[in-house]
Amino acid sequence: MEMKVESGKIIQTKDVSPSGMKIIWQEIKKDKLAMGSLIILVAILVFVYGASFFMDAKEIAKVDFLSIYMEPSSDYWLGTDYGGRDVFGQLIIGTRNSFTISLFITLFTAIIGLSLGLLAGYFGGATDNVIMRVIDFVIALPQLMFIVVVVTIVPVFNVYVFILIMTMFLWTGKARLIRSKALSERELDYIHASQTLGTPHWKIILFQLLPNVSSLIIVNFILNLAGNIGLESSLTFLGFGLPESTPSLGTLISYARNPDVLENKWWIWVPASLMILVLMLSINFVGQALKRAADARQRRG
Amino acid sequence: MTLLKVDNLKVHFPIRGGFFRRVVDHVKAVDGVSFELQQGETYGLVGESGSGKSTTGKAVVKLNNVTSGQILFEGRDLAALSRKEIKPFRKDIQMIFQDPYSSLNPKKRVLDIIAEPLRNFERLSPAEEKKIVQDFLDKVGLSPESIHKYPHEFSGGQRQRIGIARSLTLKPKLIIADEPVSALDVSVQAQVLNFLQDLQQEFNLTYLFVGHDLGVIRHMCDRMGVMYRGRLVEEGNSDEIYDNPQHIYTKRLIAAIPDLEPEVREEKVQLRKKLSAEYESSYSTFFDENGRAYDLKPISSTHRVALQ
Ligand SMILES: Nc1ncnc2c1ncn2[C@@H]1O[C@H](COP(=O)(O)OP(=O)(O)O)[C@@H](O)[C@H]1O
Ligand SMILES: [Mg+2]
C-alpha cells in the first residue's frame, strides 16, 4: 500500500505491506475450490466438535443386543452396527477422535521436526551430522513391524500410545524438509548480518530464520494433517489401530472387513469412508492453495 | 594510529570427501595476508573473483574461522577470542554486504531491521528506538515513514542504504564494505559511493573496502592491496599502484579495465599481448614453484610487491 503525502501532511494508509497471513487469505479467497473446502471443513468440524460435546460417548459405545444391524431409521439415523451401537453417534465421535489424533500427531511431529531441522540446518557441521544419523536410524526401522509389536505388547493400547508411536516415526520427513531449507537460508547474508550485529544464535533461529521457513511449515502441516487422518484409518483397518472402545473413522470402516457388512450393510462403513474422503480432500485443497501462496511469496523474494 | 592490523592471516576451508566425509584437502582461500588500516583511511582489497577478498573481510567479523594468524583491532587479537568474547567488538566493527537483496530479512520491517543491533546492545524505549532509526534513515536519504515497509518495497540502491543505516546505528569505528555497489545499477553506484564517503567524514569511519573493480577502488581508497589466489601480490597508495604497477598480476588487472576510446583500444590490445608474454617469461620472479606468490617486499616507503 502506498503512503500519500498531501499538503505536507503524511497520511498513512493503515498497515503498510500485506503480511504473510493476508497473502494466504487472499489466495484462498481467490481459489473457489479451496474456499469451498474451507467452508465445508469448518462446518464439519464445528458440527462434530459441537455435537460430540452433547453426546455421551459411553452411551454410544454400550452394546445393545436388541438392536443389532438395524437399518437407518428415525431412531438411528445411520442404523446400528453388530453391537447395536448407533452408527451416527460413532461417526460423530469417531470423526472427532480421528481428527484430534491426526491434529496431535501433526502437531508433535511438527514441533520435533521443526526444532531438530532448524538446529541441524542452522548450525550444520557436527550438530547436523548427529541429527541426520538419528534420522537415518529412525527411517531404517521397520515401521509396520514396530507398530505391530508395540500394539501387541503394551498393556493398554489407547489414543495416547497411538499418538506417541506415530509421532516417533513421522517427525523425520519434517525434520529433513526444514533442515534443507534452513541450510540454504543460513548461507544468505541476512543471517550473516544478524551474526555480525551481535544477535545470539537462539534469537537468530527464532526471529530471523523461523519466519522464513514458516510458510513451508504451515503448508506442510496442513498437508500432513490430511495424510494423518488417512493413516489412522488404514492402520485401524489393518487391525493395528485403535481398539473398538475408542470409536474412530478407522474402526467404522474396518467393520467392512466382514463381507456381509461390506455387501449388505452399507450404512456402517460408507458414511465413515465418505467422511474421510471429504476431510482429506478438503484439507488437501486448502493446503494446495496455501502452497501456491507460499510459492508466490518466495517468488517475490 | 593503527586501527586494524591483519598479520599473516590464513583461512583454509576443509574439503570433505570419501565414504566417511573425512577432510581430504583444503581450499586455501586466504593464505598468509598481512596489512594495516590507519584510523580514518579507506583501504581497498582488489582482485578477481575467488581471490579471497570476501573471506578476508569476513574473517575480521568472525564470519569465518581463522586457521592461523592474527587480527589485531586496537591491539586486541580478535582471532584468539571466542564468539562470546567478541561481542563487545561487534559494536566497533560492522559489515556492509554485497547483495542488498539477501542481506535484509524479507520478513522484517525496516524498523526491526535497523533496530536489531540497537536491541542487542542498548536498552531503549520503543519511542527512543524509533527516533534513532528515523534519524539514521534520514541520514541515508530515506523517508522516516519507511520504517513500516518491508525490504521488497525498495529498490536495490535503497536497500543498500538500509543495510548501511543498520551498520551505522552502533557508531562503529571500522566498516567492512564487501563490494557494496557491485550488485547495483551503474547509475546508482556512484551515488552510493559518494554517500559512503560523506558518511566517512561525518562519522569518522575507517573502511576496509572490498571490490573487483579497480576504478571504484581507486576512487574510494587511499591505499589498496591487490589479492591473487589468497595472497597479497602488491600493496601501496592507490595512485602508485594504478600508475606504476610492479607485479605482473596488477599490470594485467589494470590492462583489463575496458576502454571506451577506440584509439586507445588498439594500444590496449597490444599492451595485453605484451603482458601475456611477460607473464610467461617472468613467471618465476613472481611465483614460486608451487604457483604461490612470494611475500611482499618494500620497493619504496609505501609500496610493497611480491617479488622473489
Ligand atoms: N564457506 C566456504 N567453504 C569452502 N570454500 C569457500 C567458502 N567460502 C569461500 N570459499 C572459497 O574460497 C575462495 C575465495 O572466496 P572469496 O573470499 O569469496 O573470494 P572473493 O570474495 O575474492 O571473490 C573461493 O575459491 C571460494 O570458493
Ligand atoms: Mg566476494
CATH number for A47:
1.10.3720.10
Q: Whose CA is nearest to atom 24 of ligand 1?
A: B50
What Rg value do the Cα atoms of chain A yield, rounded?
A: 24
pLDDT of residue A5: 41
State ipTM.
Answer: 0.91
Would you say residue A300 lies in a domain? no
Number of domains in chain A: 1
Would you say residue B126 lies in a domain? no
pLDDT of residue A8: 39
Would you say residue B8 lies in a domain? yes
Would you say residue B127 lies in a domain? no
Q: Which domain holds residue B87?
A: 2-92+170-306
Would you say residue A22 lies in a domain? no
Q: What's the grid cell of residue A85? A: 451401537
pLDDT tens-place string over residues A95-124: 998 899 999 999 999 999 999 999 999 999
Would you say residue B244 lies in a domain? yes
**Hey, is the C-beta of A156 within 8 angstroms of any chain B C-beta?**
no
Number of domains in chain B: 1
Q: How far apart are CA A289 and CA A34, in angstroms?
A: 6
Q: Which domain holds residue A79?
A: 28-294
pLDDT of residue A65: 73
Q: Whose CA is nearest to atom 21 of ligand 1?
A: B54
Q: What is the CATH number of the domain that holds B212?
A: 3.40.50.300
Q: Whose CA is nearest to atom 26 of ligand 1?
A: B50
Alpha carbon of B24 to ligand 1 centroid (Å): 17
Which residues of chain A lie closer than 8 angstroms to B61, CB-CB? 196
Would you say residue A4 lies in a domain? no
Point out the ligand 1 atom lying closest to the alpha carbon of residue B53: 22
C-alpha dist (Å) from residue B63 to A197, A233, B8, B57:
11, 50, 18, 9
Give how far B64 is from chain A: nearest CA, Å.
10
pLDDT tens-place string over residues B96-128: 999 999 999 998 999 999 999 999 999 999 999
Would you say residue A23 lies in a domain? no
Rounded to 10 deg, the angle between the A87-123 and A266-300 helix axes is 30
pLDDT of residue A295: 66
Mutation to probe ligand 1, out of B9, B12, B13 (largest number of atoms < 8 A from CB): B13
What count of other Cβ atoms lies within 10 Å of the Cβ of residue A210?
A: 18
Task: Tell me if B101 sits within 8 A of B183, measured CB to CB.
Answer: yes
Question: Which residues have CB under 8 Å from A297's CB, separation 6+?
Answer: A20, A23, A215
**Hey, is the C-beta of A18 within 8 angstroms of any chain B C-beta?**
no
pLDDT of residue B89: 92
The pLDDT of B54-65, averaged and rounded, is 93
Q: How far apart are CA A44 and CA A95, in angstroms?
A: 9
pLDDT of residue B30: 95
Nearest Cα neighbor of A275 from A54, A40, A39 is: A40
Interface test with B, best of A15, A23, A189, A192 (most B CBs within 10 A): A189
pLDDT of residue A17: 46
Of B93, B95, B152, the CB nearest to A300: B152
Would you say residue A5 lies in a domain? no
Q: Which segments within chain B are labelled E, that is strand?
A: 2-17, 22-38, 42-46, 68-73, 76-77, 93-96, 174-178, 206-211, 223-228, 231-237, 296-298, 304-306
Q: Please, what is the average pLDDT of chain B? A: 91
pLDDT of residue A18: 54
pLDDT of residue A296: 56
SS (H, E, C) A112-130: HHHHHHHHHHHHCHHHHHH
Q: Whose CA is nearest to atom 3 of ligand 1?
A: B13
Residue type, A177: L
Q: How far apart are CA A77 and CA A55, in angstroms?
A: 15
Q: How far apart are CA A16 and CA A53, in angstroms?
A: 42
Would you say residue B297 lies in a domain? yes
Of A16, A20, A198, the CB nearest to B87: A198
pLDDT tens-place string over residues B248-269: 999 988 888 877 777 777 888 8
**Segments of chain A with pLDDT less than 70:** 1-20, 295-301
pLDDT of residue A11: 39
Would you say residue B196 lies in a domain? yes
Would you say residue A3 lies in a domain? no
Give me the phi and psi of A113, to 5 degrees please.
-60, -40
Name the residues around ion ligand 2, CB cutoff 5 A: B 54
pLDDT of residue A175: 95
> How is chain A classified by DSSP, letter by letter?
---EEETTEEE--SS-SPPHHHHHHHHHHH-HHHHHHHHHHHHHHHHHHHHHHHS-HHHHHS--GGGTTPPS-SSSTT-B-TT--BHHHHHHHHHHHHHHHHHHHHHHHHHHHHHHHHHHHHH-HHHHHHHHHHHHHHHHS-HHHHHHHHHHH-SS--HHHHHHHHHHHHHHHHHHHHHHHHHHHTTSHHHHHHHHTT--HHHIIIIIIHHHHHHHHHHHHHHHHHHHHHHHHHHHHHT-S--TTS--HHHHHHGGGSHHHHHH-HHHHHHHHHHHHHHHHHHHHHHHHHHHHHHHHHHH-
Per-residue confidence at B154, pLDDT binned at 50, 70, 90?
very high
Decide if pLDDT at B219 tops 50. Answer: yes
Asked if B108 lies within 8 A of A211 by C-beta distance, the reply is yes
Question: Which residues have CB under 8 Å from B243's CB, separation 6+?
Answer: none
Decide if pLDDT at B18 tops 80. Answer: no
Would you say residue A274 lies in a domain? yes
Nearest Cα neighbor of B279 from B242, B239, B250 is: B250
Would you say residue A16 lies in a domain? no
Decide if pLDDT at B172 tops 60. Answer: yes
